[in-house]
A and B are shown apart, each in its own frame.
Chain A
């Protein structure tokens, strides 16, 4: 090794922790192997953002939070997010562990599994082992390796063949302890011809020091043949945020991503669909807001292997103050993916002269018989639009607010839970209000 990487945990502590949590031998081995890789691998390459200068080393230690009996025991800021009824399915992770979970009896009877990943490993080891870290690999880069070594809590969803889940499954993942590791792993498996909607929120409280704890999370989604998954996620963290989301989609499967990157800290996120199967499709809608001196790198990516596969990407970012965002959209069509179609749009709205936004549409196409398109724009609030609204008596400030909300509305209105939609609206208001 040429460079000395300081790891947040040593081998012995990690081994002991895994043992304390009664993890099976394969998982302990995987964690230790990944830790070693983390010492060897480089940081991921993030275009135009110097992430090596970011705070990426503060992870705290594994801290198990006590289980709670009702959502009322959670901080007030969270309670409004969860409307707990008898038939709702909700899971809450606090810092390093899951503290609350409820699965509707109806779904349980249909064989749906919705629990924390650590429990799933105990009870459904074969299922988990078959999929865990198959979409995001431990050796991709230092951050992915580190996540593999230290992930905790987490969410596991399994929807059996032909089962349709009508109500969204909801997870809330929160950090409020400056000394606790916060690295959830979400694993969602939709078996053939099933259908499910999943919504989660990641947030941190204002407790002192929490803004220093790095969130390093991974989401893996497996959409089997003919299955349909809607995955909505809103991140609102005060600390550095690293998230890799990846879906592998089989024949005629469909993944819809609806993502709100509403951080207060620096963030790297990559949301990717691997369209393996013929006729598979992916739809991504991402919004992102940046304020103060935030630095953001937001990537959407679709990789087409399947014939007649289709991908749509739609990213909108609003930047103010000195915030800077690099918005990448990557459509990759592999040789053999005939009749594939990929469309992408990235738009950045800048509200301050020092804000910066780059929209980079990238098409990488190795097959002739395909269609693909992209559009990107970076600009300020259109003065003609402001004039039009003002000519009806609306103040300049309100006119701009309407336009900004309108810019983000196509994504916000897609969020499957109304109270999460409301939260996203008030976050936008709070972050971008003058």
Chain B
């Protein structure tokens, strides 16, 4: 079945503060959507709420993946249904090696008794690590522990490559990356482009979009999408900033849920 991801009127709050104020977006297989916007406009909240972070409470709206109610699912069920979030700040977990973690994640998608063989797993992992120009030693390091910002981001992309999701959300994957790392990460994403996979790329900067060409660009302010367009919108934002959008829409403060 063709991938179809539908967010409708999503509202979410953290610690009683409403951050998402009715956000709607539809992503089909093969499409790349970019969400841009200044700091504090609710972009990362959107990513966390979609994945089901325990601190965020969805108060209204719906999210469907191929007709299934995502909001009814626990975090692990969402992942197994095909949702993947490359996080802005991935957790560090001491004592759990990257390879043990990856194997557990792959096996979580397989029936008991049908686990991936160790040899096959290692071959897959090493192959993908090579594509991302990761030092093979990272397989045996503890999960994200002592990784630099850029290494963590590559590790997120490695997981994406191995888990083969149908909807990929990249939350500020470009922050903290130098240009070479950015190209590698973008290349990893581009190899994953396919008719049955949709992408949602959250970013501050147009820079990343030079390497990953989006089909749709959305601007987020005050907890909702305020403007949508094609790739040309990203370029204009890069050249002219966000002020013209605010002016056009009569927005004075674009942020949401910030302390005065």
Query: Chain A: residues with CB nearer than 8 A to chain B?
Result: 382-385, 387-396, 398-399, 402-403, 405-410
Contact = CB atoms under 8 A, between A and B. Distances in A.
Contacts of B51: 391
15 contacts: A387-B52, A387-B54, A387-B75, A388-B90, A388-B91, A388-B93, A389-B104, A391-B51, A391-B79, A393-B79, A393-B163, A405-B96, A407-B94, A408-B95, A409-B96
A181 B53 CA distance: 55
Interface in B43-79: 51-54, 74-76, 78-79
Contacts of A383: 54
Contacts of A398: 104, 108
Nearest to A396: B76
Contacts of B141: none
B79 A385 contact: no
A388 B87 contact: yes
B105 interface: yes
Contacts of A387: 52-54, 75, 91
B80 interface: yes
B85 interface: yes
Contacts of A406: 93-96, 142
B101 interface: yes
Interface string B93-133: 11110001100110011000000000000000000000000
Contacts of B142: 406
A391 B74 CA distance: 9
Given A387-B75, A398-B108, A392 B159 contact: yes
Contacts of A399: 76
A407 B94 CA distance: 7
A60 to B, nearest CB: 40
Contacts of A402: 93, 96, 100-101, 104
Contact of B109 (A389, A391, A393): A393
Q: What 8 A-B pairs are tightest by C-beta distance, nearest first?
A: A406-B95, A409-B95, A393-B79, A406-B96, A388-B91, A392-B105, A390-B75, A393-B108
A395 B96 contact: no
A390 B76 contact: yes
A393 B76 contact: yes
Contacts of A392: 79, 101, 105, 108, 159, 163
A410 B95 contact: yes
